[in-house]
């Protein structure tokens, strides 16, 4: 194989593709990327055997078709540090030569035939949605997925599709985020409600794809996998097995305490009030009164903080504690100037709403 690459285009492709390459694995070949050049195009592939990616790279000149399997970290480092506009990549018998105007690198790789097959997207899509719309929905819920959990189902994001609405739901057991996106094309109505759980890693990859206004995501579940295509990228992923919690059961519907608050002002107040909390007392208190909301944080060995905000509120006074980081996470992704906070009793979850598309349930912390 011999191919001349535009260096910046190659760096962009490797940056995305190598993000799923495992740093530790009993199979050294999985720490590599596969480069496949045919007569017309070049594809760069990677997989960790759960999530795979195919990246069709443009701005290439193919002198000789072929394949190469090269350690991802070494190749990415060489390409990023290069100062050339064009890099020549030539490989044979597991050895790769990379040449610039004043540089020459030799990287030892693997035989191409040993690399696992990474699926491509064939046929018609069941689901279509503008990439920017989907990425906005992902950003509003992905942070709430469980990072480590024996309940494997909550390590992913639930896709719940009914007609042309898709709800993206994530939870770690202490909070729940649900965003709503409108689909351009949806599965047939006779299929009913479609529910699948997509791993957080695949969702994070989708969020990293550079988007333009015209880019559309096409997706279809196939057996226990989902195939997702957008522009020049195809992501394949195993679906998460197990049953996602019945999240609708924990969304409060009977609250009588409602406030409309400034997103930026509350974000600033929460950040400041949390400055004097500690790992042991990781909570801030909301004291809601007729005309003001007081945010307070306290750590016995450090001190305390108090931030006051004027509000319009007609309900009963209430004091409730929350994890400040969980509040910061959701306030960062609210795009509107203000949001609604709904509360019941101090031992019941807080409910945050932004328009009709974002809903966030947050378990309270006992203030002791």
- The percent of residues in the chain predicted with pLDDT above 90, rounded, is 78
pLDDT tens for 181-218 read 999 998 876 667 789 999 999 999 998 987 677 899 99
Say if residue 255's pLDDT is above 90. Answer: yes
User: Would you say residue 174 has pLDDT above 70?
Assistant: yes
Q: Which of 64, 70, 55 is nearest to 121 (CA)?
A: 55
Taking residues 239-246, report their average pLDDT.
Answer: 91
Tell me what pLDDT residue 191 has: 66
β-strands 338-343, 350-354 pairing = antiparallel
- Residues of the chain with pLDDT > 70, as a percent, come to 98
Tokens representing 71? 């350690």
Which residue has tokens 């050049």?
37
Q: What average pLDDT does this structure show over 228-240?
A: 94
Calculate the average pLDDT of the chain: 92
pLDDT-derived band at 349 (thresholds 50, 70, 90) equals very high
- What is the structure's pLDDT at 93? 87
Beta pairing partners, 151:
none
Query: pLDDT digit string (tens) for 287-311?
Result: 999 899 999 998 888 899 999 999 9
For the chain, domains (ranges, CATH) are 2-114 (3.10.150.10), 127-247 (3.10.150.10), 251-362 (3.10.150.10)
Q: Rounded distance, CA 277 to CA 301, Å?
A: 10
- Please give the pLDDT value at position 190: 67
CA dihedral of 5, 9, 11, 13, whole degrees rounded to 10: -110
* DSSP-assigned beta bridge partners for residue 99: 88, 104
Q: Report pLDDT for 18.
A: 94
Which pLDDT value is given to residue 344? 94
Could you read off the pLDDT of 48-107 as tens digits, one per residue? Answer: 999 999 999 988 999 999 999 999 999 999 999 999 999 999 999 889 999 999 999 999
Nearby residues of 175 by Cβ (< 8 Å), 6 or more positions away: 144, 326, 330, 360, 361, 362, 363
Q: What is the pLDDT of residue 43?
A: 96
Whether the pLDDT of residue 150 is over 70: the answer is no
Residue 154's pLDDT is what? 87
Q: In what order do the strands lie in the sheet with 156-162?
A: 194-199, 156-162, 165-171, 175-182, 358-362, 350-354, 338-343, 257-262
pLDDT of residue 19: 94
> What is the pLDDT, as a whole number, of residue 161?
93
The pLDDT of residue 368 = 67
In the predicted model, what is the mean pLDDT of residues 24-50?
A: 94
pTM beyond 0.85: the answer is yes
- C-beta neighbour count of 276 within 10 angstroms: 17
Q: With bands split at pLDDT 50, 70 and 90, how would you rate the model's confidence at 149?
A: low
pLDDT at 314: 86
């Amino acid at each position: 194989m011999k191919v001349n690459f535009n260096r910046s285009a190659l760096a962009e492709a490797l940056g995305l593709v190598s993000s799923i390459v495992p740093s530790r694995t009993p199979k050294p070949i999985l720490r590599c990327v596969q480069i496949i050049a045919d007569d017309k195009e070049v594809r760069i592939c990677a997989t960790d055997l759960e999530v795979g990616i195919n990246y069709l790279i443009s701005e290439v000149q193919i002198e000789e078709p072929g394949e190469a399997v090269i350690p991802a970290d070494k190749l990415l480092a060489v390409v990023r540090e290069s100062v050339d506009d064009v890099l020549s990549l030539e490989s044979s018998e597991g050895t790769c030569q990379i040449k610039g105007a004043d540089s020459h690198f030799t990287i030892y790789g693997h035989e191409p035939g040993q690399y696992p097959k990474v699926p491509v997207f064939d046929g018609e899509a069941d689901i279509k949605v503008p990439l920017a719309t989907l990425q906005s929905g992902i950003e509003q819920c992905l942070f709430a997925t469980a990072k480590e959990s024996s309940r494997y189902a909550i390590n992913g994001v639930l896709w719940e599709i009914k007609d042309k609405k898709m709800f993206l739901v994530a939870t770690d057991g202490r909070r729940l985020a649900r965003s709503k996106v409108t689909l351009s094309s949806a599965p047939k109505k006779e299929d009913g409600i479609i529910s699948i759980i997509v791993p957080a890693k695949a969702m994070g990859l989708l969020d990293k794809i550079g988007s333009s206004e015209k880019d559309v995501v096409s997706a279809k579940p196939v057996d226990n996998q989902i195939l997702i295509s957008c522009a020049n990228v195809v992501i394949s992923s195993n679906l998460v097995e197990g049953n996602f919690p019945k999240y609708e059961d924990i969304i409060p519907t009977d609250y009588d305490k409602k406030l409309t608050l400034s997103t930026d002002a509350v974000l600033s107040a929460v950040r400041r009030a949390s400055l004097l909390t500690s790992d042991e007392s990781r909570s801030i208190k909301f004291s809601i009164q007729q005309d003001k909301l007081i945010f307070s944080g306290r750590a016995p060995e450090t001190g305390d903080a108090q931030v006051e905000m004027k509000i319009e509120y007609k309900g009963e006074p209430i004091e409730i504690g929350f994890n400040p980081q969980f509040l910061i996470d959701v306030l960062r992704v609210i795009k509107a100037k203000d949001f609604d906070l709904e509360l019941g009793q101090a031992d019941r979850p807080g409910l945050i709403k932004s328009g009709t598309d974002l809903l966030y349930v947050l378990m309270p912390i006992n203030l002791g």
